[in-house]
Each structure stands twice: as C-alpha cells, then as structure tokens.
Amino acid sequence: MTTGLEHYLVLAAVLFSIGLYGALAKRNAVVVMMCIEIMLNAVNIALVGFSRFVTPTMLTGQIFAIFIMVVAAAEAAVGLAIIITIYRNRESVETTDINLMKE
Amino acid sequence: MGVDIAFWILAIVGVAAALTVVLLRNVFHAALALILCLVTVAGLYITLSADFLAGVQILVYVGGVSILLILAIMLTREVQHGSLSNKFRVPAFLVAAIFLGVMIYSMVATPWQISTASPAAPTTAVLASNLLGEGGFILAVEVAAALLLAAILGAIVLVREK
C-alpha cells in the first residue's frame, strides 16, 4: 500500500495529540515549550502533506509552513526569555508555582 | 516503494521520539529526543518532495530552537528536579485521546480531492515567486520580518540585567 495523504494526516494528528498531552500535563515550563514545538511541527506536516497531494504545483501549504516556522522561532525566543526572567525572580520554572496573579 | 519504507521508518522513529519527550523524567534527555523528532520531521518533508522546507527545518529547528531550549535548561538548572506531571494528567490524557480519535475519524472519512500532477521540483523557484512575486505573500513576508525584529528586541529587554 503506497503512502497517501491520510498517512501523513494521521501521523500529524498522533504527533499533535502527544504534544497536546504534554503541554497540558507537564509541570516544567521548558518541557511545555518543547511540547508546543511538537504541536507546531505536527501542523506543518499536515500543511506540507496537503500541499504535496492536493495542490502539488502551487505549494501554498509550504508557504504557510514557512510562516508557521517564523512564528515558532519568535515564540521560542520570547517564551524562553520569559521563563528565564521568571526563574530569576522566583527560583522556579514549575507552572504550578507561577501563581502570582492568584494570590 | 523506497518513499513508503522511508515514511514508515521516519513516522515510527518520530512518534517514538515525541513519546520520549513527554514520558522522560530527565529534561535534558527530553530535549535531545525533541531534536531527534525534529530531524525526522525534516526527513518527512523530503518524502513529501519539499526540499527547501527540509533545509529550513534543519537550520531553524535543529540549529536554532533546540540550542535555545538547551540553553534555557542549563540556565534554569531544572535537570535535577526532572519533568514531573501536574494534577491534570488523567484529564489531559483523556482530552488528547478524544481529540486524536475525532481527528483520525474525520480525516479518514473525508473524501480528499487528490491531484495526480507531479510535484514541483525543485521547489525554491515556485516558493520564491509565491513569496516575493506579484500577487504573492509579500505583505506577510514584511510583517514576518517586523515580527522577528520585535521578538528579538523583546527577548533582549526581558533577559537584560537591571
């Protein structure tokens, strides 16, 4: 059986679900960021799969994937800067400890 | 045929690496597993005949984002604490499993309009004319440049010593 669009879409869904579970269930903020990167990559796989199998000559899906990469890089830089700042002020990157707005 | 074998190997290794990121206690080992997962995604782009995106994936994710993540792990000294779960572990697993089931059902049940045209190769010329050419995404490219500049400045301002 040759690999078709459904194979790539199901793979993207599996990777997205793994990242979703990690982003919701993990306590370490850096690990949450890593899981968000997995989710963004899963979406990129789905977009490139659509671009390959539905519109193989226009490549619009790959353009969207490039923009997602731009946003992901900016998000990683700003997010990790925020995590480092929080660690400096509160000596912790556990998401359960960051409850300043709740106290 | 070769593409099929490559897809299955890359898919299995990628999913295993992603599971390792989620399940490992050691944060540094999880970051290394994430790098493996990002490399397999680059391989998947090659099987989808997206050569330029595979190169960008290696450069941006494997070269840039993973270094940032490892730097943040080093600076926050969280290796000895480990990556534990919070109290939402069971609800998060249920949400992820239900989401996965709904997505797989809808993806398999939808009749996609598969095109039989052979893909553009190499993709760089088509991508460049789409991004920079007339009627393309030139406004989005400019906004992306402004966004990256703002992100760099924001990161510098956030981590600067007072």
pLDDT tens digits along B41-75:
999 999 998 899 999 999 999 999 999 999 888 88
Which residues in B lie closer than 8 A to residue A73 (C-beta atoms)?
60, 64-65, 148, 151
**Inter-chain residue contact B104 with A10, CB threshold 8 Å:** yes
Test mutation, A18, A68, A99, chain B, max B CBs within 10 A? A18
- Whole-number Å distance between alpha carbons of B46 and B158: 37
Work out the pLDDT band at A64, boundaries 50, 70, 90: very high
Q: Which residue does chain A place closest to B39, by CA atoms?
A: A41
B25 CA: distance to closest CA in chain A (Å): 10
Residue B146 — left, alpha, or beta (φ > 0 → left; ψ -120 to 50 → alpha)?
alpha
Q: State what percent of residues in chain B have pLDDT above 70.
A: 97
In this prediction, residues A43-63 reach a mean pLDDT of 90
Residue B112 reports pLDDT greater than 70 = yes
CA distances from A101 to A78, A85, B85, B86, B111 (A): 20, 16, 22, 19, 48
- Of A15, A21, A6, A53, the closest CA to residue B13 belongs to A15
Residue B99 in tokens: 């989401």
What's the whole-number mean pLDDT along residues A16-24?
94
C-alpha B18/C-alpha B90 separation (Å) is 19
Distance CA B46, CA B58 (A): 12
- Specify the 3-state DSSP secondary structure of A28: strand
Global pTM reads 0.91
Chain B positions touching A85 (Cβ under 8 A) are 158-159
